Amino acid sequence: MVQMKFHKLITILLAFTCTFYCAASVTFRFSAGSIDSGGLKSQMEYNISELLTEINRAGSQETTLNLSSISMEQEAKIRLNALWNEASHFVCDRETNISRCLNDYQGYQVRAIPITMKPIDLSYNQSINRELTISLNKNGVITGVRPAWELQEDVSKIMQDANGVADTRKRREILKWVEDFRCYYNERNIKALNQIYSDDALIITGSVVTQRKMHGDIGLRYDQNVNYTVQSKEQYITKLTRIFKNNSRINVEFDHISVVMHPAKPNIYGVTLHQKWQTSSYSDEGWLFLLWDFNDPERPQIHIRTWQPDQVVAKDGVFTLDDFKIH
Amino acid sequence: MINKIYILFICIITVPFSLNGQTNSDVIDKMNNVKLNESFIFGEGFHLKKDVAHECAISEILSYAIELRFENGNDERLLPSDIQPIVKQLIHFDGNQYNVFLYVDRELIMSMSGHIESPQILSNAESISEPNELVVQDKAQNSQMSKGTSLEERFTPLPNDVLNSLCNQDNWAEIKGFLSTYKNQGRIRETGFCTNISEIPVDAYRILIDDKYGILSILAPKGSDNGINLKTNQTDKESNYPNCKVIVWFK
């Protein structure tokens, strides 16, 4: 009898212990001096702590996220749920996380919260250890939760190339927007893409066309020419909507990112990066050039998007700011 | 039986704690203490390779330091080499990657002398200065250039894309940035500013600017295409522009 009772006690304690280790609460605090003390600071710390705790609970128990009690924009909840349910769960590595509060035009950013990814299927091909980036608006409401760039050395290089404090802040902002931009594709968020491209955006796609020609009397010669197709924003968005509808899974990855400020227009930036595009039925790799306009820093827009497959870049070079005259 | 279960339970309770010890929780605690101490500023990098994680941390601490100094009215530049010798380092192997944590005394950063931006010609694309703020190129260097070798030997035509970009600009504010970028990229070797035609190196392209900072003409070097206006492809010369207030040359 005593043995039975002890057994039950052990079982209860074991269950309690497991729950404790799997879903211990996570605390977040801002580093000293990075934000003024006050209600907003405490509110954001509480909000982020709640979010990270819920992430750890759901990640450990392999269940869906319950974000109902977290002060987070609806769009951000949808995006985080999409990432969680379609790509990967994750858990925070540390029970106490302390990061700098970075100011941006929309509010605040918190970076470098170490996480461990828990992919839901074998299609996940990125690193297991990553860092989480959280964006908040000026009222302390969470507006975005994303695993950060994989290639931190690219980020480091971009920041070191900054020319002064204003450029440093803009580059950080650009990185955030480019991260968001990539996630819009993965999340199949056509609404956000529609907003981020300006109405008169120029979409240029390069391709290599191989032409078969007679060479003298004896043989054939193959000439490779580069063709460029120009689409309007409307055409591009229509095509993208169809692709999103027909593919259950889209995975877009960026690397080799570089950022160049327009020499005469400090709010115009050219971003060049290498893109890997994978859908259930198609994949390709190529170079993207994006011309970003930060004249309205709260609502930056892309005026030009060019995509060139690797072989076109080898032949023609990648588009840069110099290829476009900006008025 | 009870003893065995008891031992198992004790193991379950204690193993995670001992594992925590092995994963350097002390280092993480120390990092957190530094982060919560206003006396320090820090930078943190995560990467599979330790040197890359270190570079990321240096980049972060550097931009943090520059921002703090700027907020205190100090806009002298800091370089990674300035910070490198004074940072303290904590390293933690986090899962499968290195977590390099660098920190430095805030007061030390605020008081250290940096590098004052030398007033180099066209060096800062962000600030669009007026032509009369430019510094005259070392004349001795120019006169040395004009002796000895012939123009044909010295003259190196600039790439067409460089010239086309410059020709597409209509005012000084726009063209200045392009000159700066090309100079930084090494595609333009030298730039200079003058009000006297005789000071212009013979192998230099010339941008003629009026008093409203509009571009009047961009002329090829005197000895090559002898006064071709690159914007119109017609023969041209400085004297055709009595309203020219300043000439910026480049080569």
Alpha helices, H only, B120-237: 139-146, 151-154, 160-167, 172-184
DSSP codes joined into one string, A72-93: B-HHHHHHHHHHHHHTEEEEES
A261 and B174: CB-CB below 8 Å? no
Backbone angles phi, psi at B66, to 5 degrees: -65, -40
| Torsion, Cα of B44, B86, A30, A113 (10° steps) | 10
Structure-token pair, residue A104: 């941006």
B138 and B239 housed in the same domain: yes
> Which of A100, A153, A164 is closest, CB to CB, to B126?
A164
ipTM over 0.90: no
Backbone angles phi, psi at B228, to 5 degrees: -85, 130
More confident residue, B163 or A249: B163
B93 and B147 housed in the same domain: no
Least trusted range by pLDDT, from A163-167, B152-156, B186-190: B152-156
B167 and B79 housed in the same domain: no
Domain extent at residue B38? 2-111
B142 and B94 housed in the same domain: no
Is B123 among the domain residues?
A: no
Residue B233 C-alpha, separation from nearest chain A C-alpha, in angstroms: 20
A264 and B9: CB-CB below 8 Å? no
Residue A115 C-alpha, separation from nearest chain B C-alpha, in angstroms: 10
Residues in chain B closer than 8 A to A100 (CB atoms): 64
Residues in chain A closer than 8 A to B44 (CB atoms): 112
| Residue boundaries of the structural domains of chain A | 12-148, 190-323
B53 and B136 housed in the same domain: no
B151: pLDDT confidence band, cut at 50, 70 and 90? Answer: very low
CATH of the domain at B102: 3.10.28.20
B32 and A98: CB-CB below 8 Å? yes
- Across A117-131, A275-289, B72-86, B108-122, which has the greatest mean pLDDT? A275-289
The domain defined by A190-323 folds into Nuclear Transport Factor 2; Chain: A, (3.10.450)
Residues in chain B closer than 8 A to A260 (CB atoms): 181
B59 and A100: CB-CB below 8 Å? no
Is B124 among the domain residues?
A: no
Least trusted range by pLDDT, from A117-126, B16-25, B116-125, B163-172: B116-125
B100 and B175 housed in the same domain: no
Residue A1 C-alpha, separation from nearest chain B C-alpha, in angstroms: 12
Q: Based on the structure, what is the number of domains in chain B?
A: 2
B142 and B241 housed in the same domain: yes
* Whole-model pTM over 0.90: no
Helix, strand, or coil here: B158? coil
Nearest Cα residue to B239 out of B227, B224, B221: B227
pLDDT of B85 = 87
Tens place of pLDDT for every residue, chain A, 327 residues? 555 565 565 555 554 454 444 457 999 999 998 888 889 999 999 999 999 999 999 999 999 999 999 999 998 998 899 888 877 899 998 999 999 999 888 899 998 899 999 887 777 777 888 899 999 999 999 999 988 877 777 788 788 777 777 788 888 888 888 888 988 888 888 999 999 999 999 999 887 776 666 655 556 656 667 788 899 999 999 999 999 998 877 888 888 888 888 888 888 999 999 999 988 788 888 899 999 999 988 889 999 999 998 877 777 778 888 888 777
Nearest Cα residue to B40 out of B91, B95, B86: B86
Is B233 among the domain residues?
A: yes
Residue pLDDT, tens place only, B194-234: 766 777 777 888 888 876 677 888 988 876 656 788 888 88
Is B61 among the domain residues?
A: yes
Is B122 among the domain residues?
A: no
CA–chain centroid gap for B70, Å, is 16
B227 and B166 housed in the same domain: yes
Which one of B6, B34, B36 makes the best mutation probe of the A interface by having the most chain A beta carbons within 10 Å?
A: B36
A153 and B52: CB-CB below 8 Å? yes
